[in-house]
Amino acid sequence: MTLAAPAPYAGTAVATRPTLTVDLAAIAENTRFFARRTPGEVMAVVKADGFGHGAAAVARTALGAGATRLGVTSIAEALDLRAAGLVAPILSWLNPVDAGWADAVHHDVELAVASREHLDAILRDAPGARVHLHLDTGMARDGVAPDAWAGLCLAARRAEQRGQLDVVGVMGHLACAEDPEYPDATGRTRFAWGLRVARATGLRPSQHHLAATAATILDPLAQHTMSRIGAGLVGIDPTRTVPLGGALTLTAPVVGVRSVRAGTPVGYGHTWRAPTPTRLGLLPLGYADGLPRVASGRASVSIRGVRVPVVGRISMDMTVVDLGDLAVVPGEVATVFGAGDDGEPTVRDWADAAGTLEHEIVTGLGPRLDRVVVGAPALRSLR
Ligand SMILES: *Cc1c(COP(=O)(O)O)cnc(C)c1O
């Protein structure tokens, strides 16, 4: 028996297994958009594995396209980026009081201070830390409450004077920045107040940052020395006003095709019956891969450039589509979502079908998907 030479890699991965393709060129383009849009610096927010796109790849791409800093929630996420070789400034803003502050500072990670307890723990465990004081500007979630702000600023200033701390930033976060009917003037005003208080105690933070993606698009008044951009980098525009490029394409092979009679019930719970004789296609991915079950009966996929509806319940590992007259054969590839350039559904279509936002779709994609990265700058320059 002779062994055939291995099949060329390109194409085969896409045709045989559910595959998520991340286009770094789109992320670079989106980054350039925000770098032009803001007068200050762009912090690339790559929490939650770069919104499901791969934290290190998104970080590297954004830094190569105009971002100057990185932002994540936990110290663990920051250390992963350091381990991947990223040397840009990194801010971590969400940690328990007893986090590994010393390790973070050892790896040159800047830390947000969200309470007096956090400040005391950082002073105790990680002298010399570079910190951003985080003011709650109206979400009652993270950050220091306004009535504790002056006290925190004073304590931080004293520690700075003793040489124990370096307050490099003041930050806030807006609750309603994507709503043009409800510009978050309260949050803006509170942040401006917080900055004045900090300066009155003698602090001189070189960075003050409030705007994320939505405010950077809609609200020039919310822009300070830096914008923290996460969703926008990966093509999500919460304001639905600017053309950003989606960076994900999810494809899956059709693994089965069957003809059914009118009235045939499909899937768990028999939630759908074929209204006419038709052909059904089976896709080997489901809610374990991040397709929201609640989008059953509402979402569609694209095969041969034609949209076909998802029918019956999306189950853990399988999704059924109604092929109608399309003469699809097993092995053909369905595009579950993509950038939308060829009429295929987008992440936004899936989010709309599920009654959620795009962020939840992209960060919920499962580990079982094959992942392929395209559009890296080095590859593009070879072409
Ligand atoms: C996630 C996050 C961001 C990024 O927000 P986007 O709307 O995704 O750009 C910025 N700041 C904080 C504090 C965040 O948690």
The minimum-distance atom of ligand 1 relative to the CA of 238 is 7
Residues 326 and 292: their CA atoms lie apart, in Å, by: 25
The minimum-distance atom of ligand 1 relative to the CA of 213 is 9
Tokens 């093509």 sit on residue: 235
* Domain shared by 263 and 302, yes or no: yes
- pLDDT at residue number 66: 98
The minimum-distance atom of ligand 1 relative to the CA of 232 is 9
Between 75-83 and 55-63, two packed helices, what is the crossing angle to 10 degrees?
Answer: 70
* Domain shared by 199 and 292, yes or no: no
* Domain shared by 58 and 199, yes or no: yes
Tell which one of 173, 218, 224 to mutate to probe ligand 1, the residue whose CB is within 8 A of the most ligand atoms. Answer: 173
Please give the distance, rounded to the nearest whole angstrom, from the Cα atom of residue 226 to the centre of ligand 1: 12
**CATH number, domain at 258?**
2.40.37.10
Tell which one of 38, 58, 213, 228 to mutate to probe ligand 1, the residue whose CB is within 8 A of the most ligand atoms. Answer: 228
Residues 277 and 261: their CA atoms lie apart, in Å, by: 4
* Domain shared by 327 and 199, yes or no: no
Range of the domain at 102: 25-234
Sign of CA dihedral 186, 232, 113, 127: negative
Among the three residues 199, 234, 269, which one is the final residue of a domain in this structure?
Answer: 234
Please give the distance, rounded to the nearest whole angstrom, from the Cα atom of residue 145 to the centre of ligand 1: 19
* Domain shared by 218 and 262, yes or no: no
* Domain shared by 257 and 123, yes or no: no
Sign of CA dihedral 48, 52, 55, 59: negative
For residue 60, being part of any structural domain is answered with yes
- Tell me if 279 sits within 8 A of 259, measured CB to CB: yes
336 phi and psi angles, rounded to 5 deg: -75, -50
* Domain shared by 80 and 218, yes or no: yes
For residue 90, being part of any structural domain is answered with yes
- pLDDT at residue number 15: 60
* Domain shared by 227 and 256, yes or no: no
For residue 17, being part of any structural domain is answered with no
The partner residues of 42 in beta bridges, in order of sequence, read: 227
Q: Which residues contact 78 (CB under 8 A, 6 or more apart)?
A: 70, 72, 90, 91, 92, 104, 107, 109
- pLDDT at residue number 180: 72
- Tell me if 134 sits within 8 A of 114, measured CB to CB: yes
* Domain shared by 176 and 318, yes or no: no
The minimum-distance atom of ligand 1 relative to the CA of 93 is 13
160 phi and psi angles, rounded to 5 deg: -65, -40
Among the three residues 204, 234, 264, which one is the final residue of a domain in this structure?
Answer: 234
For residue 61, being part of any structural domain is answered with yes
The minimum-distance atom of ligand 1 relative to the CA of 212 is 9
The partner residues of 21 in beta bridges, in order of sequence, read: 249, 372
- Distance of alpha carbon 298 from its chain centroid, rounded? 24
Domain count, the chain: 2
For residue 108, being part of any structural domain is answered with yes
For residue 8, being part of any structural domain is answered with no
Diameter over CA atoms, the chain? 82
Among the three residues 184, 201, 234, which one is the final residue of a domain in this structure?
Answer: 234
Quick check: is 268 catalytic? yes
- Tell me if 77 sits within 8 A of 86, measured CB to CB: no
Quick check: is 47 catalytic? yes
* Domain shared by 217 and 322, yes or no: no
In the chain, the N- to C-terminal Cα span, in Å, equals: 39
- Distance of alpha carbon 84 from its chain centroid, rounded? 19
Residues 188 and 196: their CA atoms lie apart, in Å, by: 12
* Domain shared by 205 and 257, yes or no: no
For residue 251, being part of any structural domain is answered with yes
**CATH number, domain at 198?**
3.20.20.10
**Pick the catalytic residue: 9, 47, 182, 287?**
47
- pLDDT at residue number 104: 98
Tens of pLDDT, residue by residue, the chain (383 residues):
444 444 444 444 446 899 999 999 999 999 999 999 999 999 999 999 999 999 999 999 999 999 999 999 999 999 999 999 999 999 999 999 999 999 999 999 999 999 999 999 999 999 999 999 999 999 999 999 999 999 999 999 999 999 999 999 999 999 998 887 776 788 999 999 999 999 999 999 999 999 999 999 999 999 999 999 999 999 999 999 999 999 999 999 999 999 999 999 999 999 999 999 999 999 999 999 999 999 999 999 999 999 999 999 999 999 999 999 999 999 999 999 999 999 999 999 999 999 999 999 999 999 999 999 999 876 444 43
Residues having CB closer than 6 A to ligand 1 are 45, 47, 93, 173, 212-214, 228-232
* Domain shared by 221 and 269, yes or no: no
Q: Which two tokens stand for residue 220?
A: 């020039």
Please give the distance, rounded to the nearest whole angstrom, from the Cα atom of residue 109 to the centre of ligand 1: 18
For residue 381, being part of any structural domain is answered with no
Tokens 């705007």 sit on residue: 211
Please give the distance, rounded to the nearest whole angstrom, from the Cα atom of residue 45 to the centre of ligand 1: 7
Residues 247 and 340: their CA atoms lie apart, in Å, by: 10
Please give the distance, rounded to the nearest whole angstrom, from the Cα atom of residue 101 to the centre of ligand 1: 22
Half-sphere exposure of 145 (CA within 13 A, CB side): 4
Please give the distance, rounded to the nearest whole angstrom, from the Cα atom of residue 230 to the centre of ligand 1: 6
Please give the distance, rounded to the nearest whole angstrom, from the Cα atom of residue 208 to the centre of ligand 1: 15
